[in-house]
Amino acid sequence: MDYEEGSYASSAVCDVLDFTCYEDLMGKTSPMELSVIPNADEQQQEIYQPLKVYLRVRPFSKAELESNESQDCVIIENPETVTLQAPKESFTMKNSEKGIGQSVHQFTFTKVFGPETTQSDFFEGTMKEIVKAYIDGANGLVFSYGVTNAGKTFTIQGSPKDGGILPRSLDMIFHHIRGRQYLKMNFKPYLSNDVKKLDVTQVKQEEIIKAAVLASLKEDTEDTLKSTIQSESLCILESVSSSSCTSASLPSDPLVEDSILLDANGTKHQRTQSSVWVSFCEIYNEYVYDLMDVLAISKYQKRKVLKICEDQGGNSYIKDLKWINVQSTEEACKILKIGNKNRSLACTRMNQHSSRSHGIFSVRLLRLSDEAEPRILGVSEMSLCDLAGSERCNKTQTFGDRLKEAGNINNSLFILGKCIAALKQKQNPNVKHSYIPFRESKLTRLFQPFFCGKGKACMIVNVNQCASTHSETLHVMKFSATAKQELLKTTENLKKTLVAERQSKLLLEVQIRKEMAEAMFQQLLETEETWSKRLEDMRESYEEKLENKFEMYKEAIKKHAYMCAMEQIEDHYVPIEEFIVEQEKVEVDFI
């Protein structure tokens, strides 16, 4: 099977996100910013952090391996890059052999998790940081995206023995608040990030609603479910008027005499307790439905459409969405299971596929002071949003309801992409800020605060490696990952230009060094010549001076010798008269 390309969500969707991830390809470390740091100060200073996009590739099943699904369609090049290769017999491959289109596409992600990745490794590598910040008071949002059978449920929910990111996140939250859990239900999430205090009757009502919701899990058929809900709802109504319907007994509130703790350094700390509430809803065809609305899942009841409203601060929230107090991971997972069941029941009724709606599971953590009359210290929210996939929108099916569905999915994904891209621009002080179209889809309207920097956000992309779903996988990658082929080419060209630039710079440097060496050598030669000349001159001048001195000495010696000789002559001088007398004397003696 090979779906024709271009029959999916509008290519503009891809363009928007391609642009987003293009930065990744260029090796930038902070391509996207959507969050504030935990414990942000009161002015909610916007300190952005990147929107991380993780890819998880699931392993082949035995059946897939037997049916020749393994054709090296997904190749993990390195921890950030994957290559998608069209199956051998596909139209894409045949066309590309004829020179029409591309059969190979490459995408980069914040991190790629291969088929061997364990649930624990995946949680550690993706969610842990978000949950840590969430516990510290920051909001968290996780989008998951992928076609049917790509491994979304496995990644988010996992199995009872090997939980996915949601039960692991819940475990981390409950582990963190262990011993400090506020078990009463009299403080409840309200509006977007507010808390309201309930009176005794309202608390009772909460307990009964929770019991009714949880009871729905036990019922297998729609009819029995209906009767249970009817009796439970009766009970709710009765309890509201007479408080006769008892709830499960709750542990009493721990008695705390002093709400201030002193640490070893004598620093004061406020003792806190926490309360956890969850909700589960879906957005289908731009309508919001509560998946905890157990009354509406019967065949005969129309589902109630919920409205997205804004509080005084302009923050969006879903009006009348049920928030259920949960006191353990198990309880929260039951809510998830009930929501899943209601989602698939609704889908069956509407002949719709579950992956055609956006499912949103949210957890609100209320922090209260630990004292007899607790005060609200803060609220943080973490939402896991399972995005609708735009698969199966090929031409043969795009009419009637499916056309409307496809249009709405495309539109909301398109707006999501536009919001992300606009925020990307917002980070760049040199680029003129453009209008961010949050209000143009329910999804972006709901998560507007995240796009304004109030929370940590990430996207998880699930894909399988099957040859038969190659086109769908390619589409998912194009939406969520980094680049289309054109962008890849641009990047490749830019990389080549960069390499060429570097090479020319290197050559220039070599040339400059050579010229400098030559100039220095020349200078050395000239210096040597000058010095040789100077030495020669000096030698000549010394020789001349020596010569002169030598002459001087010669003269002096000559003079000295003459003087000595003269002195000697003087010493031995005999006047001639004496000499003659003497001579005559000698001659006489001789005779």
Ligand X SMILES: Nc1ncnc2c1ncn2[C@@H]1O[C@H](COP(=O)(O)OP(=O)(O)OP(=O)(O)O)[C@@H](O)[C@H]1O
d(CA 296, CA 507): 74
Cα angle 58, 64, 70 (rounded to 5 degrees) comes to 75
Instruction: Determine contact, residues 24/31, Cβ cutoff 8 Å.
Output: yes
HSE value, Cβ hemisphere, 13 Å, CA-based, for 98? 6
HEC per residue, 477-492: HHHHCCCCHHHHHHHH
Choice between 36 and 147, CB closer to ligand X? 147
Binding residues: 146-153
Least distance CB 251 / ligand X (angstroms): 36
Choice between 59 and 314, CB closer to ligand X? 59
Using DSSP, state whether 168 is helix, strand or coil: helix
> What is the greatest pairwise CA distance in the chain?
193
Least distance CB 160 / ligand X (angstroms): 12
d(CA 122, CA 306): 34
Choice between 101 and 114, CB closer to ligand X? 114
Helix (H) or strand (E) holding 287: strand 287-290
Choice between 51 and 55, CB closer to ligand X? 55
Query: Which residues would be at the binding site for ligand X (CB under 6 A)?
Result: 58-59, 146, 148-154, 355, 462
Least distance CB 13 / ligand X (angstroms): 19
Choice between 294 and 476, CB closer to ligand X? 476
Least distance CB 428 / ligand X (angstroms): 35
Tokens of 542: 């010394």
Least distance CB 353 / ligand X (angstroms): 8
Binding residues for ATP: 146-153
Least distance CB 283 / ligand X (angstroms): 16
Tokens of 436: 């961010």
d(CA 68, CA 90): 13
Choice between 10 and 149, CB closer to ligand X? 149
Choice between 159 and 530, CB closer to ligand X? 159
b/e burial code for range 130-155 (CB count within 10 A of at least 16 → b):
bbebbbebbbbbbbbbbbbbbbbbbb
Question: Exposed/middle/buried for 362, CB within 10 Å: 0-12, 13-18, 19+?
Answer: buried
Q: What are phi and psi of 279, to 5 degrees?
A: -140, 160
Torsion 399-400-401-407 (CA) sign: positive
Least distance CB 150 / ligand X (angstroms): 4
d(CA 2, CA 311): 47
